Chain A
Amino acid sequence: MYLTKEEELILAGEYGYALQKAMEILVALGEIYGADRLIPIKSAQIAGVSYKNIGDAGIEFLRDFVDAGAKVSVYTTLNPAGIGNEEFMEKQREILDLYKAMGIEVTSTCTPYYGANIPKFGDHLAWSESSAVSFANSVLGARTNREGGPSSLAAAIVGKTPNYGLHLEENRKATVIIEVQAKVKDFVDYSFLGYYLGTVLKNDIPYFKGLKPEKMDYLKELGASMAATGSIALYHVEGETPEYKTAIADKLDKIQVDDRELKEVKERYNADWNEIDAILIGCPHASIQEIKEIAEFLKMRGKPLKMPLFITASKVVKYLADSLGYTEVIERYNGRIIVDACLIVSPIESWYRGIATNSGKASFYFSSAGLKVRLDKTDRLILEAP
C-alpha cells in the first residue's frame, strides 16, 4: 500500500504512540484487504461503547490510549451506550468520559444522521454501527465499510481509512435482484422483509424492485433488520435510493419475496400480551416523525399503558420532542424517551421476560437473549397493549 511521507512518519512513531498505533491498524487492514492507499474521511462513528460489550478489557485499552494522548481529527460520534445497575452505570460513565477525552462528541446513537453526524452523497466515512452503516451507504449514498470499534477509532484519530471494499465504486454494484411481491406498506412490514432477507442472503448487495417506501424511517428499518440477521451493508431500491441507476452491472439472480415468506417471520414473533412486560420503539433510534406518531396514537388510546413504553432516541431528537411537546404526552401515558442508550446492549434479560416492538432488528437480538417477543405495527402495539 502506498503511504505519503507524513503517513510514513506517523507509522514510524514521530507523532507519538497513539497516532502510531492507529496508523499501524489502518496499514495492516489496508494490506489485508488490498487497499492501494489511505483516503481522507469526513466523519467517524465508533462502536464499542456499552460496558456490556467492551467490558474491562475495552476500558483498559481506552484509558491507555487516552493517556498516550489520543485525539480524534474528524467529527466523531458514538454508538449507543448501555443501561444497568449502579456499578454498570459507573463503568459506562467512565467509558463515555474516555471517549470525550479524545475529543469525541458524546452523542451515542445508531441514527447520527438525524442531526448529530450528517454525511452527504459521496462522502467517505468510517462508521461501525451496522444499521448506521447501511443507512449511510444505501440511503445517503455515502461510503463506508462496516468498521470494528478499534478500526473506526483508529480512522477517527488519523482522519483516514484504507481504500477498499465499499469505498470503491466497482464494489457498490448490486449482486442480486429482489422482486417484492409481498405487501410491504408499514414500518413493521419493512422489518419482516429485512429480517427474512438477512437470513437468506450472504454478503450480497440487494437491488429491490417493487418497493415504494413512504417514509425514510422504513428504509432505516429495512437496512437495520437485514444487517442484524445478515451482514448486508448496502442495498439499492429502484426509483428511491441515490445510486440505483448505476447499480446493475451484470445479469443477476432474482429472488421473489411473497407474503408467505414474511408471514413466517411474523409467526415466529407473536408472543401473547400476557408474556410481555414492556414495549420498545426506537430500534434503530426513533426519528422525530416516529415520536410524533407515537404521541398521536397514545392520545387516541386515551388511557395510560399498564406496562412501560420505552422509546430510544438520540439527544438531538429528544430535545426536539421536548420542545414540540411530544415528551410530555408520552410521559403522561407511561412512556419514556431514553436518550443515547440502547436496550439491546443492556442486561435487559435480567429485567424482563417479554418485549413488544416494531423492530425486526430488536426482535432478533431480544430473542437471542432468551426473551419472548411480539413484533407488530406501531399503532397496534400502542392501542392493543394492556
Chain B
Amino acid sequence: MKVLKGRKITKGKAKGIALVSQKPLSFLGGIDPKTGIVTDAESDIKGESVKDKILVFPRGKGSTVGSYVIYQLKKNNVAPKAIVVEDAETIVATGAIIAEIPMVDKIDIKKIKSGQIIEVDADKGDVIIHEK
C-alpha cells in the first residue's frame, strides 16, 4: 500500500479502478455526457468509459462549459467516482463541486497506473494505491 499526499479540492471518499490519462482532458466535446465514453480523438484514453472509475489526469483543458458536462455525467449515472489531477483549474474543480465528486490535486499521476485499485480520501487529500 502506498499513500500519495495531495490537496483536497472537493470533499468525500471513493474506491475504484484507476483510469489514467497522461494528457490533459477536455470535458466539453471530449467525453460523451450520455455514456461517459471518452471521444476526444487526441486523448490517450479514447474509447474508455469514465463511469465509476477513479479518473486520473494532469489537468483540464478547453471550454469552461466542461463543468456542466461533469454535472451531466453525474445526473446520467456515468460519472467517475473520484477525480485525481496534478493541477486543479477552474473547469474541473467547479464541475467536481457541482456534481459532488470527490477530487484531489497536487498528485504525481505518473505513480498511478490504469487498472490499479485506488482509494481517494479527499478530506485528507490522500490517494491510496493498493499494489497489485
Q: Are A32 and B88 also in contact (CB < 8 A) when A55-B65, A56-B72 are? A: yes
Binary CB contact string for chain A from 120 to 152 against chain B (1 if under 8 A, 0 otherwise): 000000001000000000000000000111110
Binary CB contact string for chain B from 21 to 58 against chain A (1 if under 8 A, 0 otherwise): 00000000000010000000000000000000000000
| A47 in the interface (beta carbon within 8 A) | yes
Known: A55-B65, A150-B98, A151-B90. 20 other contacts (CB 8 A): A24-B10, A24-B97, A25-B93, A25-B94, A28-B10, A28-B88, A48-B64, A48-B65, A54-B65, A56-B72, A60-B68, A61-B68, A61-B71, A128-B64, A148-B91, A148-B94, A149-B68, A150-B64, A150-B94, A151-B94
Contact A48 B97 (CB under 8 A): no
Contact A150 B68 (CB under 8 A): yes
| B63 in the interface (beta carbon within 8 A) | yes
Contact A29 B63 (CB under 8 A): no
Residue of A nearest to B105 (CB): A32
**Please, could you name 8 A-B residue pairs with CB atoms under 8 Å apart, sorted by A?**
A28-B94, A31-B9, A57-B68, A61-B72, A148-B67, A148-B90, A149-B65, A150-B95
In the bound complex, CA of A25 to CA of B99 (Å): 11
| A21 in the interface (beta carbon within 8 A) | yes
Binary CB contact string for chain A from 139 to 173 against chain B (1 if under 8 A, 0 otherwise): 00000000111110010000000000000000000
Binary CB contact string for chain A from 12 to 45 against chain B (1 if under 8 A, 0 otherwise): 0000000001001100110110000000000000
Number of A interface residues at 8 Å Cβ cutoff, please give it.
24
Q: Are A28 and B72 also in contact (CB < 8 A) when A55-B65, A149-B64 are? A: no
Which of chain A's residues have a CB closer than 8 A to the CB of B72? 56-57, 60-61
Interface residues of A (CB under 8 A from B): 21, 24-25, 28-29, 31-32, 47-48, 53-58, 60-61, 128, 147-151, 154
Which of chain A's residues have a CB closer than 8 A to the CB of B91? 148
Contact B65 A58 (CB under 8 A): yes
User: 3 nearest interchain CB pairs?
Assistant: A148-B64, A57-B72, A57-B68
Which of chain A's residues have a CB closer than 8 A to the CB of B71? 57, 60-61
- For the side of the interface on B, what is the size category? 20 to 34
Identify which of B33, B65, B69, B90 contacts A29 (C-beta below 8 A). B90
Interface SS of B by simple majority = helix
Which of chain B's residues have a CB closer than 8 A to the CB of A47? 64
In the bound complex, CA of A58 to CA of B97 (Å): 15
Residue of A nearest to B87 (CB): A32
In the bound complex, CA of A54 to CA of B69 (Å): 9
Query: Which residue among B69, B93, B105 has the maximum number of chain A CB atoms within 10 Å of its CB?
Result: B93
Which of chain A's residues have a CB closer than 8 A to the CB of B68? 48, 54-55, 57-58, 60-61, 149-150
Contact B93 A29 (CB under 8 A): yes
Which of chain B's residues have a CB closer than 8 A to the CB of A57? 33, 65, 68-69, 71-72
Residue of A nearest to B91 (CB): A148
In the bound complex, CA of A177 to CA of B71 (Å): 42
**B59-104 at interface with A (beta carbon < 8 Å):** 63-65, 67-69, 71-72, 75, 88-91, 93-95, 97-98
In the bound complex, CA of A151 to CA of B66 (Å): 12
